[in-house]
Amino acid sequence: MNTNKVIVDGYCRQVLMDFVKRDYVLRSKPIASRPSSNLQIEGERFSIPSIISNAVVDIDKHSENINTIDSIFSKLQLLLCRHIVVRMLYPPSLKDVRRIFEASVSYNIHEMLLITNFAPQLYSNSLARIVLDSNRLKAMVVFNSPFDKNLDNIIHFYRRRMPKTTFKKESSEFVCNPWLYNESIRHNTYFHKKLYINVDGQIKNAPECPNSFGQIAQFFPSELLELVRSEEFAEFWHITKDMCCICSDCEYRHMCVDNRVPYSNGHGMFRHRVACTYNPYIARWQGQPGYVPVEQCGEFTPEGFVPDEERIERVLRGIAGE
Q: Which residues contact 290 (CB under 8 A, 6 or more apart)?
A: 282, 284, 315, 318, 319
Nearest CB to ligand SF4, comparing residues 221 and 263: 263
C-beta closer to ligand SF4: residue 40 or 153: 40
For residues 81-110, one letter each, b for 16 or more C-beta atoms within 10 angstroms of the residue's C-beta and e for the rest, the string is: bbbbbbbbebbbeeebbbbbbebbeebebe
- CA separation for the pair 305, 8 (Å, rounded): 13
DSSP labels for 71-138?
Answer: HHHHHHHHTT--EEEEEE-S---HHHHHHHHHHHHHTT-SEEEEEEE--GGGSSHHHHHHHHHH-TTE
DSSP 10-66: TEEEEEEEETTTTEEEEEEEE-SSPPPGGGPPPPPPP--S-SS-EEEEEE-TT-GGG
34: nearest Cα among 285, 315, 305: 305
Smallest distance, ligand SF4 to C-beta of residue 247, A: 3
102 closest CA partner among 135, 56, 149, 57: 135
Q: Which C-beta is closer to ligand SF4: that of 9 or that of 258? A: 258
Give whichever of 82 and 253 is closer to ligand SF4, judged by the CB atom: 253
Indicate the residue among 17 and 51 with the shorter CB distance to ligand SF4: 17
Distance of closest approach, residue 278 Cβ to ligand SF4, in angstroms: 4
- Compare residues 119 and 246 and give the one whose CB is closer to ligand SF4: 246
Least distance between ligand SF4 and beta carbon 249 (Å) = 8
Compare residues 155 and 312 and give the one whose CB is closer to ligand SF4: 312
Separation CA 70–CA 65 (nearest Å): 9
Residues, the chain, total? 322
For the CB of residue 258, give the shortest distance to ligand SF4 in the complex, in Å: 4
User: Quick one: 81 or 246, whose CB is closer to ligand SF4?
Assistant: 246
The residues of the shown chain that bind ligand SF4, judged by CB under 6 A, are: 169, 241, 246-247, 250, 252-253, 256, 258, 276, 278, 280
Shortest Cβ 244–ligand SF4 spacing (Å)? 7
Q: Which amino acid type is present at position 52?
A: I
Least distance to ligand SF4 from the beta carbon of 256, Å? 3
CB of 260 to ligand SF4, least distance (A): 7
By 3-state DSSP, what share of the chain in percent is helix, strand and coil, each rounded to 5? 25, 25, 50
CB of 34 to ligand SF4, least distance (A): 17
